[in-house]
Amino acid sequence: MKLNLTMTEKLIYQAQIYVTLRPSVLDPAGTAVQSGLQHLGYDNVEQVRIGKYIELTVSAASEHEAKEQVDRMCDRLLANTVIENYRFDLLEQQPSINK
């Protein structure tokens, strides 16, 4: 086994993206789940809203670059800003050596 010791400049980031319905948009699925929870006895539960969670990795020269790119992806495809909001976290991933 030969180890590739030349490190690339790029870093790998995992983006954890949350897409949620805008508050002004009714969420009938959330309402149905809420009534389910209440039927289970959790009658203190309110405001159930169902969204999407998306994970992906990007390689980028810097966290700033990764952030800008993921933001564009969310705006262009992953969320429809007419009805949805999004936010995301970026986690720098340790490059794995033993491939």
Partner 1 sequence: MKFGVIVFPGSNCDRDVAYVTRDLLSVPTRMVWHEETDISDLDVIVIPGGFSYGDYLRCGAIARFSPVMPQVISHAQKGKLVLGICNGFQILTEVGLLPGALIRNRDLHFICDRSPISVERTNLPWTQAYRAYQVITLPIAHGEGRYYADADTLAKLEDNGQVVFRYHRENPNGSLNNIAGICNLQGNVLGMMPHPERASDPALGNTDGMDLFEGILAATANAYAQRRLSHQEFVEA
Nearer to partner 1, 7 or 82 (CB): 82
Nearer to partner 1, 62 or 81 (CB): 81
Contact positions vs partner 1 (CB under 8 A):
24-26, 28-29, 32, 77-78, 80, 82-83
Do residues 73 and 65 touch, judged by C-beta distance below 8 A? no
Nearer to partner 1, 1 or 77 (CB): 77
Q: Return the SS3 of 15.
A: strand
Phi and psi of 47, rounded to 5°?
Answer: 55, 40
- Smallest gap from Cβ 21 to partner 1, in A, equals 8
Nearest to residue 84, comparing CAs of 18, 26, 16, 22?
A: 22
